[in-house]
Amino acid sequence: MPAKSPAPPGFPAEIPSPATLEELHAAMLECTRCDLYQSRTQVVPGAGNPEADLILVGEAPGAYEDKLGVPFVGASGKLLDAMLTAAGIDRDEVFIANVVRSRPPGNRAPKPRELRACAGWLAEQIRIIAPRLVVTLGRFALQHFIPAGKITQLQGTAHEVQYGPRTLTLLPLLHPSAILRNPDLRGGYEQQFVELGRMMGNRD
Ligand code: SF4
């Protein structure tokens, strides 16, 4: 089990803007910008292709992610893998991250101050990777980009959003955990991923 970060609380005061994901993630691994550092096993920075055309953004690490340091490896991750397969998209060709990088205790919802403290890490990943499309999975990821956005109204449709100096194309979708809670939604969810595969040129 990785040791707790030796950094003092509130580190780093400013999120750095390095040239590479490796440098960014090395800094993120030491992050103590919010209280979640006290209960995590390790930071889960995100994983995948550093030159991805597609970034998928979820909520926060769960127990498996906290243990392994990799996003979306539990039950939600397995469902996401199945959806990506339906889209004709290889997990290795995309980048997957969360809006919060340290596991909230008991998988509770992230608090506003935790979301604010962590937001800059995602902004830097998007700056470095410069994806063609961002898929948000669930309410917290959507509201990182569209603060008043309602997932029930916006999901399944692509939206252009201003994000710092960039215009991003955003496709809000439900979080896979919502499908696990309500399996009746799975067919429609899979169809949205098939459409995503078409948008990315991975499906006819
Ligand atoms: S959740 Fe984000 S801001 Fe909070 S300690 Fe973890 S990496 Fe840092």
Give the closest residue (by CA) to ligand 1 atom 7: 101
Q: β-strand 95-98 against 47-48: which pairing, if any?
A: antiparallel
The answer to whether 126 and 163 are in contact (CB under 8 A) is yes
- Residue 135, judged by CB atoms within 10 A of its CB (0-12, 13-18, 19+), counts as buried
Amino acid identity, position 77: G
pLDDT at residue number 4: 53
CA 115–ligand 1 middle distance (angstroms): 8
pLDDT in tens, 99-154: 999 999 999 999 999 999 999 999 999 999 999 999 999 999 999 999 999 999 99
Measured over the CA atoms of residue 99, residue 103, residue 105 and residue 108, the dihedral's sign is: positive
Give the residues surrounding ligand 1 with Cβ less than 6 Å away. Answer: 28, 31-34, 36-37, 43, 100-102, 114, 117-118
Alpha carbon nearest to ligand 1 atom 6, residue: 102
13 contact partners, CB below 8 Å, separation of at least 6: none
Q: For residue 2, is pLDDT > 70?
A: no
What CATH number matches the domain at 21-199, 1.20.1420.20, 3.40.470.10, 3.40.50.300, 3.30.420.40? 3.40.470.10
Answer yes or no: is pLDDT of 5 > 70.
no
User: Across the chain, what does the average pLDDT equal?
Assistant: 96
Average pLDDT over residues 154-169: 96
Q: Are 48 and 94 in contact (CB under 8 A)?
A: yes
Given a cut of 90, whether residue 204 has pLDDT beyond it is no
pLDDT of residue 203: 86
Burial class (CB in 10 A: 0-12, 13-18, 19+), 195: middle
Q: Which atom of ligand 1 is nearest to the CA of 110?
A: 1
Q: Are 80 and 72 in contact (CB under 8 A)?
A: yes
Other CB atoms within 10 A of residue 184 CB: 7
Question: Residue 175: what pLDDT?
Answer: 98
pLDDT at residue 38 above 80? Answer: yes
Ligand 1 atom closest to the CA of 31, numbered from 1? 8
Q: Whose CA is nearest to atom 2 of ligand 1?
A: 118
**How far, in Å, CA of 112 to CA of 114, rounded?**
5
Taking the whole predicted model, whether its pTM rises above 0.75 is answered as yes
Domain ranges of the chain: 21-199
Rounded to an integer, what distance in angstroms lies between the CA atom of residue 94 and that of residue 84? Answer: 10
